[in-house]
Amino acid sequence: MEAAVVQEEQHHELAPQLQFPPGYHFVPTEQELLSYLRSKIEGQEQPLAVVNEVAILDWQPGSLVEAYKGYGENKWYFFTVREPSSSNKEEEPNRKVRVPGVKATWKATGSVAPIAAARAKQQDDGGKPAEEEEEEEKVIVGTKRVLIYQSSDAEEDGKWSMHEYILKGHAKMGQYALCSIQRKQHSDTVDNAGEGTSSRKRTKATNGDPGKAKKRRTTKPDTQPEGLVLQQLQRDRIHRGTTETEIQDKENCYKEKE
């Protein structure tokens, strides 16, 4: 048992910490992450060793983040190789975690989202005036998928999310993906948070039937138009024998209040 623990510690050797100078932060866009991934796939040297290569399925996310905490702040980025799985669909990689004593998996949520980037423009020797330049054309350069960590370990279960980035044309098994790991946010569990919220509100308002929305009840204002007040005064004179002087006094009182 002791030998097994030593072997696991050697396998999960802590990485040297990368310290950014004050004011510097690694906050890449999705397009920039795919650019890092392309460089990795093509064997190019990374400009900064901030994205480490790991076998993500050999770790629980909390332990992985702790080991590489010096490489991130709210998100940690990793290159990992997609592994085939006989129990999943042919297009889907293995998601089951291989940590002794823990039954866990990264469960995909929502749909695969395409990532677009501006197409690289070819230089025109003639040159066009700025006002004549065409609108920037965009092309799909990769995809993103959100996964939630599900584990038999209560301290880890449901508390982490992974964003998996795949370069277009490199989705086969055995190829690299770039993944970010972070504490789970509410938006990670909803494919489109804004649309989902609107849909739920709309269903509640229409009682499940969009074609039969209930009309809101309106209440009449407490104030009455001047004509109605004068009619009431006339009725008072008829039923109670009110004198013309009393009617005039009440009318003047009403007008003064206005």
Question: What is the edge-to-edge ordering of all strands in the sheet holding 176-183?
Answer: 52-53, 76-81, 176-183, 160-167, 138-151, 104-118
Q: Could you tell me if 242 and 236 are in contact, meaning their C-beta atoms sit under 8 angstroms apart?
A: yes
User: How far is residue 81 CA from its own chain's centroid?
Assistant: 25
Q: Is the pLDDT of residue 156 over 80?
A: yes
Residue 156 · residue 104 · CB < 8 Å:
yes
* Percent of the chain at pLDDT exceeding 70: 57
pLDDT given for residue 204 in this prediction: 43
Mean pLDDT of the 217-223 span: 50
- Of 30 and 206, the one with more pLDDT: 30
Mean pLDDT (whole number) for 18-37: 89
- Residue 161 has a CB neighbour count (10 Å cut-off) of 22
| Structure confidence at residue 25 (pLDDT) | 85
pTM given for the model: 0.63
Question: CA angle at residue 26 from 23 to 31, to 5 degrees?
Answer: 140
Q: 78, 58 in Cβ contact below 8 A?
A: no
CB atoms within 10 A of CB 181: 23
Name the band, by pLDDT with cuts 50, 70 and 90, for residue 125.
low
Reported as a pLDDT band with limits 50, 70 and 90, residue 198 is: very low
Quick one: tokens of 5? 């623990």
How large is the C-alpha radius of gyration of the chain? 34
Q: Is CATH 3.30.70.1710 what the domain over 2-119+134-190 is classified as, yes or no?
A: no
CA distance 40 to 45: 7
CA 10 to CA 63: how far, in whole Å?
14
Query: Which residue intervals of 12-86 are DSSP H helices?
Result: 30-41, 61-67
- Judged against a pLDDT cut of 90, whether residue 75 lies above it is answered with yes
